[in-house]
Chain A
Amino acid sequence: MKIIINNKKIEAKKGQTILEVAKENNIDIPALCFHSDLDIKSNCRLCVVEIKGRDGLHTACSTKIEPEMEIATESEKIIKARKINLELIFAQHCEECNDCIWNFNCQLLKLAKKYNVEITRFTDRKKGYPVHQFGPSLIFDSSKCIDCRNCVDVCQKQCVEFLEVKERGHLFQVIPSKDKNKDCIYCGQCITHCPVGAFEAVGEFEDVEKPLQDKNKTVIFQFAPAIRTSIGEEFNLPYGSIVTEQLVAGIKKLGVDKVFDVSVAADFTTVEEAKELTERLKNNKNLPMFTSCCPSWVKFVEFYYPELIPHLTSVRSPQIILGGLIKTFWAKKENIDPKKITVVSIMPCVAKKYEIQREELKVSGLKPVDYVLTTRELAYLFNKNKINLKNIEPMEADNPLGIPSGAGVIFGASGGVMESALRTAYEKITGQCLEKLEFQQVRGMEGIKKTTVEIKGSSVKTAVVNGIRNAKKILEELKEDPKLYEYVEVMACFGGCIGGGGQPVPTDSKIRKQRAESLYQIDTVKEIRSAHKNPIIKKVYKDFLNSEEKIHSVCHTRYFPRKKD
Chain B
Amino acid sequence: MATNDIITKLKKNNLLGRGGAGFPTSLKWDMVKNAEAEKKYIVCNGSEGEPNVFKDGFILENYPEEVIEGIKIALETIDNSSAYIYLHKDYYEKHTHKLEEIIGDLPITLFKKTGHYIASEETSILEVIEGKRSEPRIRPPFPPQSGLWNYPTLINNVETFYYVAKINKDEYQNTRFYSISGDAQNGGVFELPENYSISQVLEETNNLPNFDFFIQAGGGAMGEILLPNELEQPTEGAGAIIVFNRKQTDLFVLMKKWTDFLLQGNCDKCAPCREGIFRLAEIIEREINNPNKHSLDEFFKAREQTLQDLFFVLEQTSFCALGKCAVIPFRSLIKKLK
Q: Which residues does A use to contact B, with CB under 8 Å?
A: 40-46, 48, 56-57, 62, 77, 80-81, 84-85, 88-89, 91-92, 122, 125, 146-147, 165, 170-172
Q: Give chain A residues whose Cβ lies under 8 Å from the Cβ of B279.
A: 88, 91, 122
Residues B317 and A81 in contact, CB atoms below 8 Å apart: yes
Q: Give chain A residues whose Cβ lies under 8 Å from the Cβ of B133.
A: 165
Complex partner residue of A48 from B138, B276, B316, CB under 8 angstroms: B316
Q: 15 A-B Cβ contacts within 8 A?
A: A43-B319, A44-B271, A45-B271, A45-B272, A45-B317, A81-B317, A85-B271, A88-B276, A122-B279, A125-B278, A147-B268, A170-B264, A170-B268, A171-B268, A172-B268
Q: Give chain A residues whose Cβ lies under 8 Å from the Cβ of B313.
A: 45, 81, 84-85, 88
Q: Give chain A residues whose Cβ lies under 8 Å from the Cβ of B318.
A: 45
Residues A84 and B264 in contact, CB atoms below 8 Å apart: no
CA distance A147 to B271 in the complex (A): 8
Q: Taking A122-B279, A125-B278 as contacts, is the C-beta distance between A40 and B319 under 8 angstroms? A: no
Residues A48 and B274 in contact, CB atoms below 8 Å apart: no
CA distance A89 to B275 in the complex (A): 8
Residue of B nearest to A61 (CB): B138
CA distance A85 to B276 in the complex (A): 9
Residue of A nearest to B265 (CB): A170
Residues B275 and A125 in contact, CB atoms below 8 Å apart: yes
- Shortest C-beta distance, B40 to chain A (Å), equals 24
Q: Does B198 contact A (CB under 8 A)?
A: no
Residues A57 and B319 in contact, CB atoms below 8 Å apart: no
- Shortest C-beta distance, A432 to chain B (Å), equals 52
- Shortest C-beta distance, A238 to chain B (Å), equals 33
Residue of A nearest to B263 (CB): A170
Q: Give chain B residues whose Cβ lies under 8 Å from the Cβ of A91.
A: 275, 279
Interface class of chain A by DSSP: loop
Q: Give chain B residues whose Cβ lies under 8 Å from the Cβ of A48.
A: 316-317
Q: Does B76 contact A (CB under 8 A)?
A: no
Residues B278 and A171 in contact, CB atoms below 8 Å apart: yes
Q: Give chain A residues whose Cβ lies under 8 Å from the Cβ of B312.
A: 80-81, 84
Q: Does B309 contact A (CB under 8 A)?
A: yes
- Shortest C-beta distance, B271 to chain A (Å), equals 5
Q: Give chain B residues whose Cβ lies under 8 Å from the Cβ of A46.
A: 271
Q: Does B269 contact A (CB under 8 A)?
A: yes
Residues B138 and A40 in contact, CB atoms below 8 Å apart: yes
Complex partner residue of B317 from A57, A122, A171, CB under 8 angstroms: A57
Residues B316 and A42 in contact, CB atoms below 8 Å apart: no
Q: Give chain B residues whose Cβ lies under 8 Å from the Cβ of A170.
A: 263-264, 268
- Shortest C-beta distance, B315 to chain A (Å), equals 8
- Shortest C-beta distance, A112 to chain B (Å), equals 15
Which of chain B's residues 249-274 have a Cβ closer than 8 Å to chain A?
263-264, 268-272, 274
CA distance A174 to B308 in the complex (A): 30
Residues A42 and B272 in contact, CB atoms below 8 Å apart: no
Complex partner residue of A88 from B272, B316, B319, CB under 8 angstroms: B272
CA distance A81 to B278 in the complex (A): 17
CA distance A273 to B312 in the complex (A): 62
Residues B317 and A92 in contact, CB atoms below 8 Å apart: no
CA distance A330 to B279 in the complex (A): 63
Q: Give chain A residues whose Cβ lies under 8 Å from the Cβ of B309.
A: 84
Q: Give chain B residues whose Cβ lies under 8 Å from the Cβ of A89.
A: 271, 275
Residue of B nearest to A64 (CB): B140
CA distance A122 to B268 in the complex (A): 18
CA distance A62 to B319 in the complex (A): 11
Interface readout for B316-328 with A: 1 if CB under 8 Å, 0 if not? 1111000000000
Residues A43 and B275 in contact, CB atoms below 8 Å apart: no
Residue of B nearest to A57 (CB): B316
Q: Give chain A residues whose Cβ lies under 8 Å from the Cβ of B270.
A: 42-45
Which of chain B's residues 286-335 have a Cβ closer than 8 Å to chain A?
309-310, 312-313, 316-319
